Amino acid sequence: MRISILILLSLLMPYAALWGQAGFYPVDSLEAIVMNPPDDSSELSALYWLFNELEDLEPERAKKLLRTQIDRSSKGGHNYWEAMGLRRLAILQIHVGHYDSTMASIERSVALLEESDDPRAEEAKIGSIINHAVYYQVAGELETAIVRYEDARKLAVAMGHDEYLGKILNNLGIAFKRLDRFEPAYRTYQEALALKRRTNDSLGMANTLYNLATLEMKNNGAEPALKLFEESRAIHLARRDTVSAANVDIGIASAYYEIDSMDLAMQIWTKAYETPGLRPNRLEAISMYMGLGDLHNKAGNYERALEFLLSAEELVNPGIDAYMRTDLKGAIGIAYSQLGKASEANEAYRAFQLGMDTLTELKRIEYGQEMSEKYEAELRNAEIERQGLLIERQRWRSILFGVGTFLFALIAGAVFLLYRSRLRYQRSEAAAALLEQRQKITEMEQRAELNNLRSMIEGQEAERHRVAKDLHDGLGGMLSSIKTRISLGNEPLNNAEKMLDVACKEVRRIAHNMVPQSLALSGLTGSLEDICAQMQLEGLDCELEVTGQPELRLGEQEQSMLLRIVQELTHNIHKHAGAERIFIQLLDQPHQILLTVEDDGKGFDPEAVKAGGGLGLSSIGSRVNFLKGDILYDSSPGHGTTVSITIPL
């Protein structure tokens, strides 16, 4: 969930100042021009700027005005004003996720500006190039977006257009940040901030500080970002722009969320959510709803959490926001599960798992494409180098051809014979080496199998000795005592019956250690719970954590092996470690089962114990090898022990 919120923050405020600012023209004056226009150009200009003024105040009316402006411009042949309207329409389409129609609007606006003889058309081309870059940026084609931003940047510098340049630098920094290219992103934001201060653009300064804050949060953590967020918020408040300040509060809440100040994050998010007139864009709204939903989940307010999470889901575009959609499904599944809605929870969890699988496959494909492109580039470079060498070689051949033809042929023949002889020798040597290597591998595998069998037999023999000792020392002693007292005739019958009950319990304990019935009755999880209960009876604090359903993914033999491993480990801890606490964790992961057993005992040197031929570690290792797993001992004298066992599926 936190990762998705960070991704959202990098996109929250890049587009708020792409075009004109509210308050530039009085609304009444613009409406008067629209009602009684002196000419077509004045009417179209008034409609365009009236849309800008009403976009935040009356969005539906503003959209109708923009459509009217585009239609009248088209019918009247006013290419410049039609292009300007289509540019604004493209930004609206990007914000609401209508990406298919966005490019059509952008390309149409570019074509119209090329045809226009209006002197302002050349400057307007900068905006169209920015539109191109914004489209590619939102679509995830960041390298292409950066190229288009650089094109727009060169044109803005050449024309001395500081307003456009500031917007380009902000968006260019966002693209660098999303590619984790933090150094160029930081330099670009600093250049933008210097430009905003030089031109006294307070709104631009606030937005750039916000972008710098999200960069700091992604690169260096939330704490250094908070100061920049607060500076941005202070500028908005000084401008009496409480709505923009509330948008910054969304970022501040996310920062507190990252440093686990959950109550404060909840308070700020809730306050921002309740701000009158707050109209966050789609990505800002998703960020806020996801954060509030996650916090309400953590607080146990599952009905409220579900309300926010479902609101976020309505805004997510499945084709673009795959990471966010996957995280949302997981959080929604938690809320449904806690509310007892099993069917809805299962559906959400299935969608979450499918999303995780899809993202993994996409990463694999992207990596393959990247490697393919690098390989093709290397092939091209090698071909260029080869062609250069061929040209150079041909030149020297032409010079020496008349003089050294016979000598060249003689040397070439000798080299060929030598090469063929050497090649045969190398092949025979390689075949012999391969045969020897295969023999060694076969011998090593046979020795490994013998070692595993020997360790298994030794472990079984040790188990038999332990059972015999339990029968002799425990059960045998009890039965002898009962027999002696009954034969003397001075033992009350009820006492003898109690002693027989103890003997029966001892018999069940020994039988359970040999073939744990709980594995068949309660499954692997129930058997582990029995082991924990036994350890607690022995005076140790034992905690068990099991995730997923490992019983469904492991066969009976694998479960029995894992149970034996845990019995051996806990037996060793109880007997040798002098521990007070045991933690057993069994994790059901996508491609493996992870077993971890920790204790706070006196620890030991694993290598020394292995070198000494310790039967317990040998038996455990043999069982892990049988399961084709890996085992790691993390222990040193006086610092406890952690044993991690990974079993592939």
Long-range pairs of 175-184 with CB within 8 A, sequence gap ≥ 24: 175/133, 175/137, 175/142, 175/145, 175/146, 175/149, 176/146, 177/10, 177/211, 177/214, 177/215, 177/218, 178/7, 178/10, 178/11, 178/137, 178/142, 179/142, 179/143, 180/218, 182/215, 182/218, 182/219
Burial of residue 198, with CB atoms counted within 10 A of its CB: 0-12 exposed, 13-18 middle, 19 or more buried: exposed
Report the pLDDT averaged over residues 244-266.
81
pLDDT at residue 91 is higher than 60: yes
Please name which of 498, 466, 468 lies closest in space to residue 482, comparing C-alpha atoms. Answer: 498
Lowest mean pLDDT among 319-333, 385-399, 452-466: 452-466
Which residue stretches of 545-594 are H helix?
556-572
| Angle, helix 493-514 to helix 477-488, in steps of 10 degrees | 160
Please tell me the predicted confidence (pLDDT) of residue 492.
63
Tokens linked to 92: 């609206």
Using pLDDT thresholds of 50, 70 and 90, give the confidence band for residue 524. Answer: confident
Ramachandran assignment for 510, one of left (phi > 0), alpha (psi -120 to 50 degrees), beta (any other): alpha
Please tell me the predicted confidence (pLDDT) of residue 6.
39
Tell me phi and psi for residue 119, to 5 degrees. Answer: -65, -20
539-579 pLDDT per residue, tens? 899 999 999 888 888 888 888 888 889 988 998 898 888 89
pTM for this predicted structure: 0.43
pLDDT at residue 120 is higher than 60: yes
The CA angle 86-151-148, to the nearest 5 degrees, is 60
Please tell me the predicted confidence (pLDDT) of residue 592.
92
Please tell me the predicted confidence (pLDDT) of residue 278.
66
Tokens linked to 102: 């966005």
Most confident of 55-64, 332-341, 443-452, 456-465: 332-341
For residue 149, give every residue at least 6 positions away whose Cβ sits within 8 Å of its Cβ, in sequence order, or none. 130, 133, 168, 171, 172, 175
Please tell me the predicted confidence (pLDDT) of residue 585.
94
pLDDT at residue 376 is higher than 70: no
- CA distances 216 to 223, 251, 403, Å, are 9, 12, 70
Q: Whole-angstrom Cα distance, residue 284 to residue 280?
A: 5
Please name which of 172, 166, 165 lies closest in space to residue 148, comparing C-alpha atoms. Answer: 172
- CA distances 39 to 51, 70, 75, 325, Å, are 19, 16, 15, 50
Most confident of 84-93, 130-139, 146-155, 308-317: 146-155
| Angle, helix 121-138 to helix 142-159, in steps of 10 degrees | 160
Q: Whole-angstrom Cα distance, residue 534 to residue 509?
A: 10
Report the pLDDT averaged over residues 337-355.
84
Report the pLDDT averaged over residues 121-128.
82
Please name which of 251, 243, 238 lies closest in space to residue 205, comparing C-alpha atoms. Answer: 238
Tokens linked to 604: 């030991």
Q: Whole-angstrom Cα distance, residue 173 to residue 166?
A: 11
Concatenate the DSSP letters of all residues of 339-408 into one string: TT-HHHHHHHHHHHHHHHHHHHHHHHHHHHHHHHHHHHHHHHHHHHHHHHHHHHHHHHHHHHHHHHHHHH
Please tell me the predicted confidence (pLDDT) of residue 599.
94
What mean pLDDT is reported for the chain? 78
Please tell me the predicted confidence (pLDDT) of residue 367.
47
pLDDT at residue 640 is higher than 80: yes
DSSP assignment, residue 537?
A: H
Most confident of 96-110, 341-355, 383-397: 341-355
Please tell me the predicted confidence (pLDDT) of residue 631.
92
Please tell me the predicted confidence (pLDDT) of residue 545.
93
Report the 10 Å Cβ neighbour count for 259: 15
Tell me phi and psi for residue 646, to 5 degrees. Answer: -110, 125
Q: Whole-angstrom Cα distance, residue 562 to residue 376?
A: 48
Tokens linked to 503: 């003997």
CATH of region 518-648: 3.30.565.10
For residue 459, give every residue at least 6 positions away whose Cβ sits within 8 Å of its Cβ, in sequence order, or none. 615, 618, 619, 622, 623
Tokens linked to 76: 């009247």
Please name which of 542, 458, 505, 624 lies closest in space to residue 466, comparing C-alpha atoms. Answer: 458
Lowest mean pLDDT among 148-152, 415-419, 537-541: 415-419
Burial of residue 436, with CB atoms counted within 10 A of its CB: 0-12 exposed, 13-18 middle, 19 or more buried: exposed
Using pLDDT thresholds of 50, 70 and 90, give the confidence band for residue 12. Answer: very low
Please tell me the predicted confidence (pLDDT) of residue 451.
65
The two beta strands, 592-599 and 581-589, are antiparallel
Between residues 608 and 155, which one has the greater pLDDT?
155
Please tell me the predicted confidence (pLDDT) of residue 600.
92
Amino acid, res. 219: N
User: Is the CB of residue 233 less than 8 Å from the CB of residue 248?
Assistant: yes
**Number of residues that this document lists for the chain:** 649
pLDDT at residue 330 is higher than 80: yes
Please tell me the predicted confidence (pLDDT) of residue 485.
65
User: Is the CB of residue 589 less than 8 Å from the CB of residue 597?
Assistant: no
What residues does 594 pair with on adjacent strands? 587, 646
Between residues 561 and 22, which one has the greater pLDDT?
561
Report the pLDDT averaged over residues 257-263.
79
Report the pLDDT averaged over residues 105-112.
83
Report the pLDDT averaged over residues 61-67.
83
Please name which of 127, 133, 93 lies closest in space to residue 109, comparing C-alpha atoms. Answer: 127
* Per-residue burial over 537-576, b = 16 or more CB atoms within 10 Å of its CB, e = otherwise: eeebebebebeeebbeebeeebbbbbbbbbbbbbebbbee
DSSP assignment, residue 635?
A: E
Report the pLDDT averaged over residues 471-492.
62
Cα Rg of the chain, angstroms: 37
Sign of the torsion angle spanned by Cα atoms 184, 187, 190, 194:
negative
Q: Whole-angstrom Cα distance, residue 649 to residue 634?
A: 24
Q: Whole-angstrom Cα distance, residue 144 to residue 126?
A: 16
